[in-house]
Structure 1
Amino acid sequence: MRLSVSLLLITLALCCHEGNAVVCPAVLAEHTVFLLGTQTQFRLLLAKFNAPPEASEAMITVKKCTDNISYLKRVLVEEALGEILLQCPV
């Protein structure tokens, strides 16, 4: 399964479940920087979470794979995530 599809499914699960919770702004920022930002921006964002270095490096490795997807397709995924958030109850 492609990474973008997995990311979309995870976002759906987090945003549109029966708990009607508001999406955490940190999650939104992480998804946006993950899809459209640079590795440096993503490292700075991850530093805010005080995650173990191994976990941060694992996320950077996944980001490197995501960066191989064309920018236009990543923008389409970001737009789809935005549409999902509009449908989620606030």
Structure 2
Amino acid sequence: MRLSVCLLLVTLALCCYQANAVVCPALFSEISGFSFINEPVFKLKLAKYDAPPEAVAAVLEVKKCTDQIPLEKHLLIEKVQEKIAEKCDG
């Protein structure tokens, strides 16, 4: 089993080397929402994915942990994400 996973990864690397790393703007919106939106509003955003309750509970548990990060650090993380997006765009 392990060998097949390694073989798959090597095959993907060789066959898909021209893939780009452009990140969808909607993804950055979701990541920002995770950092800056309060929990009740974030639950509403999660509802559109129709995820299982266990998955939603797990995401909200992680959000509770990340909500303890000071605002200044959240802003630094946001700047890093913007720089990554700029590099991916060209």
User: Any conservation in 2 of the 1:34–1:42 contact (CA below 8 Å)?
Assistant: yes
Structure 1 residues 26, 52: closer, same or farther in 2, change over 3 A?
Answer: farther
Runs of at least 5 residues in structure 2 that lack an aligned partner in the other structure: 1-16
Distance 1:18 1:72 in 2: 37
Partner of 2:53: 53
Runs of at least 5 residues in structure 1 that lack an aligned partner in the other structure: 1-16
Whichever residue aligns with residue 60 of structure 2, its letter is I
TM-score normalised by structure 2 residue count:
0.72
TM-score normalised by structure 1 residue count:
0.72
**CA-to-aligned-CA distance 1:36-90 (integer Å, 9 cap, x gap):** 1111221111111111111011000000000001011011101110110010036
Name whichever of 22-31 and 52-61 sits farther off: 22-31
Partner of 1:66: 66
Name whichever of 75-84 and 18-27 sits farther off: 18-27
User: Any conservation in 2 of the 1:35–1:66 contact (CA below 8 Å)?
Assistant: yes
Distance 2:84 2:18 in 1: 15
Q: Which has the larger radius of gyration?
A: 2
Whichever residue aligns with residue 85 of structure 2, its letter is L
- Runs of 4 or more, structure 1, over 2 Å off, are none
- Aligned length, in residue pairs: 74
Superposed displacement of residue 25, structure 1: 3.4
Partner of 2:26: 26
Distance 2:48 2:25 in 1: 13
Distance 2:21 2:72 in 1: 30
Distance 1:89 1:25 in 2: 11
* SS at 2:54 equivalent: helix
